[in-house]
Chains A and B, each alone.
Chain A
Amino acid sequence: MTPKNALRYAYYPGCSLHASAGEYDLSTRELFKKLNIGLTEVPDWFCCGATPAHNVDELLSLSLCAKNLELAEQVEGDLAVACAACFSRLKTTQHILSESEFKRQQVEKAIDAPVPLNGNVKHLLDILARDLGLKRLGQAVTKPLSGLKVACYYGCLLTRPTDVPNLDCVEAPTIMEDVLQAVGAETVAWSHRLECCGANFTLSRPGVVVQLSHAILDSAKAAGADCIMVACPLCHGNLDIRQKEIEGVYGTHYAMPVFYITQLVGLAAGLKADKLGLDALIVNPMPLLKEKQLI
């Protein structure tokens, strides 16, 4: 039986976690189970519209997000979001609709329902660092990630837009570093942790993505990181899946594993590789994890 004060959330995985980022979904579910945090998937959630929707049609973007917020009401608890882009869209929608009466009326007409504006939308990082808390997180560690040097990559959307009450400071956030240090890892200081990877151009202009992501990988390497940690499936796609291509274009060699936050924290909490989907990563993380005696 779950105790009364147990943490419980409605869970919005987002499209990527049901497709190219299956390992993020798996490791999230396994880690939360291990930490006794309840996750119930929002029934029949749909795409938040991501960047393409707000790029050309704000009303559509707001309506898609509002509908998802309404669906989430069926499940008890705050809304837990894994993807940085979904998180930014859902939060922004709540913010815009509570500021503008006019836009709210339009959206309510479009979805034919009132928009719930008071529910909390939280990124997984927030749940780990604040709801569960760094102290309790530290207590759950059975295998500290000692000796692992990690470059925490926020990307652009985790802490933005600036006027939306969000995860952490927009220019100098520390929430990722806090979580990783709580599980025993070492975090490096580096220049590109908030730079954009160009995710919006993955399909249309891959050359742009290669150029921007190259700068990020380069900066992480120069700072002496063993690996990069992300909390977004889009960042992951560009840094992990495209890493070989980037190495080819620039004639460099990184072999830099890119982990999801839930994979690294899961490892520290004693979860086995198969529960974390480590075999789904394109850049093989096993040599590094063996060298650091973490597996």
Chain B
Amino acid sequence: MKKKKMLLSAETMDISFVRKVEALSGTSVRRCFQCGKCSAGCPMATFMEHPPNRVVRLLQLGQWQRILAGRSIWYCASCETCSTRCPNKVHLASIMDALRKLSWDAEGPSKESYVQLANKLFLQNIRTYGRQYEMRLAAVFNVKSGQFLKDLMLGPKLITKGKLKMFHQKNKNMTEIEKIFSRIEEMRKNGEAL
């Protein structure tokens, strides 16, 4: 595949988006001097088209569309290795969080749908049950992602070992949880929260 040249110009650089990432993550991309230590320790770098140091470089150059169009942010495991090792205190794991949030909110283009689906179902489960209900999470994921038979072999053994619960106790704090979700939605609607 021929690599597309990156043209830097006032049109292709969008710094306002980068400012938003910095505000959300509480970290400045300008601190990065491209030593590459973050990527050297990143367990997921081999799965990403833009390893962590390049994600920061692209942000410095205002080329965020390139990041969001790929799958790098969804292949970050949130292990915090990058943030731990950066000599300049660039909190890369928080930058990844911020990029995911902005991409998620915009329902923007992304090459990764499975991770997003899993995240969505996980959060829905909290809203409905208060706690994770692993059996349901896996079952719904398989149906929605069209992989009906995935992990089928693991199932029976886990049930006999008492690891997959067929039933789930509903949490008594459900109304409280619903309130938290709806208050946050309300705050966002009123522009009081990012």
Contacts and interface: CB of A to CB of B under 8 A. Distances in A.
Interface string A193-231: 001101111011110100010000000000000000000
Nearest to A161: B80
A156 B77 contact: yes
B16 interface: no
Interface in A102-160: 106, 109-112, 156-157, 160
Given A56-B101, A59-B184, A46 B77 contact: no
Given A160-B80, A280-B161, A54 B44 contact: no
Q: Taking chain A's interface residues, is the majority helix, strand, or loop, or is none over half, making it mixed? A: helix
B184 A60 contact: yes
Nearest to A203: B118
Contacts of A60: 123, 180-181, 184
Q: How large is the interface on A (under 10, 10 to 19, 20 to 34, 35 or more residues)?
A: 35 or more
Interface residues of B, number: 61
A101 interface: no
Interface in B89-122: 91, 93, 97, 100-101, 104, 114-115, 117-119, 122
Most B CB contacts (10 A, CB to CB) among A46, A71, A163 go to A46
B51 to A, nearest CB: 15
A5 to B, nearest CB: 33
B162 A22 contact: yes
A112 B80 CA distance: 30
Given A16-B132, A161-B84, A280-B163, A51 B78 contact: yes
B178 to A, nearest CB: 11
Interface in A242-258: 245
Nearest to A85: B78
Contacts of B161: 279-280, 282
A44 B123 contact: no
A170 interface: yes
Contact of A47 (B26, B114, B130): B130
Interface in B138-191: 138, 141, 150-151, 154, 157-158, 161-165, 171-173, 176-177, 179-181, 183-184, 187
28 contacts: A16-B134, A19-B164, A19-B165, A20-B134, A44-B171, A46-B126, A46-B130, A51-B78, A52-B118, A52-B123, A53-B122, A57-B104, A58-B101, A59-B193, A59-B194, A60-B180, A64-B126, A109-B187, A110-B180, A110-B183, A156-B77, A198-B43, A200-B77, A200-B115, A203-B138, A205-B115, A280-B163, A282-B157
Interface of A: 15-16, 18-22, 44, 46-47, 49-60, 63-64, 67, 71, 100, 106, 109-112, 156-157, 160-163, 170-171, 195-196, 198-201, 203-206, 208, 212, 241, 245, 279-280, 282
Interface of B: 24, 26, 43-44, 47, 75, 77-81, 83-84, 91, 93, 97, 100-101, 104, 114-115, 117-119, 122-123, 125-126, 130-135, 137-138, 141, 150-151, 154, 157-158, 161-165, 171-173, 176-177, 179-181, 183-184, 187, 192-194
